[in-house]
Structure 1
Amino acid sequence: MRTRFVLPAAVLLAGVLVVRSSGTAADDKKPEPALSPVQLAERTLHRRAVEAVIWGMPAVNYDLMLQEMLSKTPGKVGQVIYWGRPLDAKNQTLTPNPDALYFMAFYNTKDGPVVLDLPPGDADGSFNGNIVTVWQMPLEDAGLLGIDKGKGGKFLVLPPGYKEKPPEGYVPLHSDTLGGYMLFRANFKSHSDADVQKSIAYGKQMKVYPLSAAANPPATVFSDVKDVDFDSTIKYDASFFRNLDRIVQTEPWLERDKAMIQKLASLGIEKGKPFQPDAATEKILDAAVKEAGAWLEAKYDAGFPSFWEGGKWSFPGYPKLIEEVSQKSYTNPNEYPIDERGVVYTMAFIGIKRVGAGQFYLINIRDKNGNAYDGSKTYKLTVPPNAPVEQYWSLTAYDRQTHALIKGAPRASRSSQIAELQKNADGSIDLYIGPKAPAGKDGNWIPTDPARKFELMFRLYAPTKALFDKSWKLPDVELVE
């Protein structure tokens, strides 16, 4: 039994008197003037706006892509846009893969379930696909290593609260948002025109239509947007809140996010009401989104956990976030990693349900010596032989500030699909990243902008056991003196 010690009241009083009488000159300073009601309101608005940016990042990321499609391309919701050549810097989405053909279909279940009818993989083609909500929560992965195991199928996206029994023959996906999209990456064997055209033809086998038209589906409309300046990089200005308002107006509130309703209302974002900030509020919002961006950048710059102990390659995510997204769908009552989620969606898009099955990503923002990458310098990465993939690997350089493909660069990546890659005697491959190709190494070179910093991503499609048991290791990138 624990004994309690109680000090006599006289002792306590004496202690108080001692504390009060032992003040310093600093204690005698005049107290800070009280904040006025206007100042308090401004500070509260600023703080809430910062938190709104971090919380709303994945949905705004989604809306930026949707608005680019609607404003700059012929594409519409319920149709498919695609990039009819390997991606170049006209595609300014976040960290895209220039070694696959991208097809993107936005859908909306406001008028009922939507069918995504996807082709099987065969000798003429295969794909890796991900279907996500407005908040980029994965509903399902599709393709060779998705739930269909390459057989294709009819994926049926059901609207929030859908009660009817889904018809037979479909893969039902219960969404908690009305909108969402599918990213369909059609794989190709090489960058040759013939292989690219074959990949396009394969991707065009997909169909998108409402379930109500399943008996006689209308032809799916495809729009090639390869020549469109498609920029969905995050905008760190007050326009961020217009994207966020659009989400609030068009999507139901999720139970887990109801604590944000009043906070957003204090910013002027309220369901059923126009968002019309005055000049003073716009100024506060602009400052807040810049502060949020700086905070997210600092957290990103601190790095993700290393994949190989002591190395500079990291999986672009946090263990807590990966667990919640891929396994628990944020149902854990004691976890909601919105800070980590905010960081990830400043530099990437899409959500993956089966992390590491169809594709695995490794990101690198520092060289072997721990220094940030400088686009005016040349670096070397040696890819060891027997890379642990069943499909292919690739290395891509991105603009460090925007996390998009480097503008002005003649290409963005090198991959194992490239026939002209020079190999070393042991089967390893030296890749060079810098403003100019080393003599005789053009085929192994990824160009950079000498005026800007960059970052790297290494992709492994259909990764094998040697990656996960770490018997194969990607070394750190070295500065070429």
Structure 2
Amino acid sequence: MRLVVMLFAVLFALPAVAADKASQAAFDREIERNAVQAAVWGIPVVNYDLMRQEMLAKTPGKVGQVIYWGRPLDWRNQTLTPNPDALYFMVFFTTKDGPVVLDLPPAEEAASFNGNIVTAWQLPLEDAGLLGYDKGKGGKFLVLPPNYQETVPEGYIPLRSEVYGGYMLFRSNLASHGDADVQASIAYGKKLKVYSLDQADHPPETVFTDVKDVLFDSTIRWDGSFFENLNRVVQEEPWIARDRAMIDPLKSLGIEKGKPFAPNRHTGTLLTKAIKEAQTLLEAKYDAGLPPFFSETSRWTYPAYPDLIKAAQANFDDPDDCPIEHRGVAYSYAYVGIKRLGAGQFYSISTRDKEGHPFDGGKTYRLTVPANVPVQQYWSITAYDRKTHALIKNVSLASRSSQIPELAKKPDGSIDLYFGPKAPRGQEANWIPTDAKRKFELMFRAYGPTKDFFDKKWILPDVDRINN
């Protein structure tokens, strides 16, 4: 009799056990789905926080101070698709204690800059410099905290931010890569000042730290630490109205304002699985290609999706459009935001050769840059690691530009550039090295593009592979 009772107990318990397992599987799937969504949504602030944490962990630099790279960028700068043909100055700021002044110098006869000021979400607040809001006059750009109600003093350019944190990327332009021009560019960049508005009457000295020899790696970490970066910013910043739908999904991951983020082992495993899925998704979308720029069949594309460019320039305020997925893709391969894309600078990306094959670092390729590039400042071509979207590690240089006087020109004024593991004989000055073991991608930069550029009166041809 006792055996029969026990058998009945087991049989009646089985459906409950099965139901518990099914419920747990459903909850697990929910966490994974929410984590993938959170990664795609949150990658701009994770991208921002990775750079900020790299500064805090590896350099003496602090929030409110300026770090800079005291030579043209090399592979030690492992940020996403940076420009090796300008000197980078970078300042992270927070307005939690009040407005912050970014006091930027006017252009000089032989010195100028291109700058972008963005929020922690990397939404553009304003562009500055020769082709920015100030048109080279410089000015006191005043970043205001959320919902700032006080009167803005005269003489300032107010920038209203939805969040406290943000940063400015200040590119001090180079006449050439020669030592004298580099030093002149550094001296000019050090004329910028950063201070709080309440210090405006007697601004303290701005602190500058040269980080040129630091391995500064802010490439996206596709592991569980992604959510630690995301949690840090969620704790620091106010919720933006359009993002309130993310509050509950983040709670399911253990990310909640005012509470510690401490996922247990099981949840941690789910988050790791989800971030890998997010990586696969974003890489697949990027690999599918951005819209072509120079023609319908061009392998040179827009730098981001046109709907994302439009939304960012409008501060994501269009009630009928919110391209979060396209934003997620963009901040997996690049950083910073541009308010006036096409006025100060325009970028174009190529990941494939003329025949549609991905660039192989073990092959040799040629790009012919036609004469008379329609730019007011300069143009450049940079090669990046296709997987990390950073400069290719352990190569001697990453780019060639119109600032390089030794570039060999053909009789018609055009320039042949070469990409590959070895320079073709006699083409060392026109060669950009690649890693034979890795794929690569290219970015063309036009600083100060003119109307002819956008009217497609000048066309950048596709890249040809010239050996097997």
1:320 — aligned with what? Answer: 307
Contact 1:124/1:202 (8 A) holds in 2: no
Structure 1 position 124, deviation (Å): 3.2
Of residues 344, 354, 362, the one that matches 1:358 is: 344
Of residues 91, 96, 99, the one that matches 2:85 is: 99
Opposite residue 441 of structure 1, the aligned amino acid is Q
**1:332 aligned counterpart, secondary structure:** coil
1:229-267 per-position Cα deviation (integer Å, ceiling 9, x unaligned): 100000000000000000110000100000000110110
1:94-152 per-position Cα deviation (integer Å, ceiling 9, x unaligned): 00000000000000000000000000001131000000000000000000111100000
Of residues 368, 372, 375, the one that matches 1:382 is: 368
**2:376 aligned counterpart, secondary structure:** coil
1:427 — aligned with what? Answer: 413
Of residues 263, 288, 311, the one that matches 1:302 is: 288
**2:220 aligned counterpart, secondary structure:** coil
- Is 2:164 the counterpart of 1:178? yes
**1:258 aligned counterpart, secondary structure:** helix
Opposite residue 223 of structure 1, the aligned amino acid is T
2:76 — aligned with what? Answer: 90
Contact 1:69/1:75 (8 A) holds in 2: yes
2:325 — aligned with what? Answer: 339
Name the Cα RMSD after superposition: 1.0
Opposite residue 100 of structure 1, the aligned amino acid is A
1:464 — aligned with what? Answer: 450
1:318-372 per-position Cα deviation (integer Å, ceiling 9, x unaligned): 111111111x211111111000000000000000000111110000000000000
Contact 1:156/1:170 (8 A) holds in 2: yes
2:54 — aligned with what? Answer: 68
Question: Separation in 2 of the partners of 1:43 and 1:305?
Answer: 33
Question: Separation in 2 of the partners of 1:255 and 1:393?
Answer: 40
**1:462 aligned counterpart, secondary structure:** strand
2:14 — aligned with what? Answer: none
- Is 2:183 the counterpart of 1:202? no
Opposite residue 233 of structure 1, the aligned amino acid is T
| Correspondences of 1:11-90 after superposition (within 5 Å) | 36-90=22-76
- Is 2:298 the counterpart of 1:311? yes
Opposite residue 285 of structure 1, the aligned amino acid is L
1:244-293 per-position Cα deviation (integer Å, ceiling 9, x unaligned): 00011000010000000011011000000000011111110001000001
- Is 2:442 the counterpart of 1:444? no
Question: Separation in 2 of the partners of 1:305 and 1:151?
Answer: 35
Opposite residue 475 of structure 1, the aligned amino acid is P
Structure 1 position 306, deviation (Å): 0.4
Unaligned stretches of 5+ in structure 2?
1-17
Opposite residue 193 of structure 1, the aligned amino acid is D
- Is 2:237 the counterpart of 1:251? yes
Contact 1:300/1:343 (8 A) holds in 2: yes
2:276 — aligned with what? Answer: 290
Opposite residue 298 of structure 2, the aligned amino acid is G
Opposite residue 467 of structure 1, the aligned amino acid is F
Question: Separation in 2 of the partners of 1:417 and 1:234?
Answer: 31
> Is 35-44 or 88-97 further displaced after alignment?
35-44
- Is 2:114 the counterpart of 1:128? yes
- How many correspondences in the alignment? 449
**TM-score for both structures, normalised by structure 2:** 0.95
**1:392 aligned counterpart, secondary structure:** strand
Of residues 196, 200, 206, the one that matches 1:214 is: 200
Question: Separation in 2 of the partners of 1:379 and 1:401?
Answer: 19
Opposite residue 138 of structure 1, the aligned amino acid is P
2:212 — aligned with what? Answer: 226
**TM-score for both structures, normalised by structure 1:** 0.93
Question: Separation in 2 of the partners of 1:89 and 1:76?
Answer: 23
Question: Separation in 2 of the partners of 1:311 and 1:274?
Answer: 49
Opposite residue 311 of structure 1, the aligned amino acid is S
Of residues 114, 133, 148, the one that matches 1:147 is: 133
* Displaced runs of 4 or more, over 4 A: 32-35
Contact 1:324/1:332 (8 A) holds in 2: yes
1:65-86 per-position Cα deviation (integer Å, ceiling 9, x unaligned): 0000000001000000000000
Structure 1 position 34, deviation (Å): 9.6
Question: Separation in 1 of the partners of 2:148 and 2:60?
Answer: 31
Of residues 278, 281, 284, the one that matches 2:267 is: 281
Structure 1 position 33, deviation (Å): 9.2
1:6 — aligned with what? Answer: none
Contact 1:422/1:443 (8 A) holds in 2: yes
- Is 2:103 the counterpart of 1:117? yes
Opposite residue 412 of structure 2, the aligned amino acid is D
Question: Separation in 1 of the partners of 2:308 and 2:378?
Answer: 27
Question: Separation in 1 of the partners of 2:453 and 2:297?
Answer: 16
Contact 1:116/1:208 (8 A) holds in 2: yes
1:369-407 per-position Cα deviation (integer Å, ceiling 9, x unaligned): 000000000000000000011111000000000000000
Question: Separation in 1 of the partners of 2:370 and 2:148?
Answer: 50
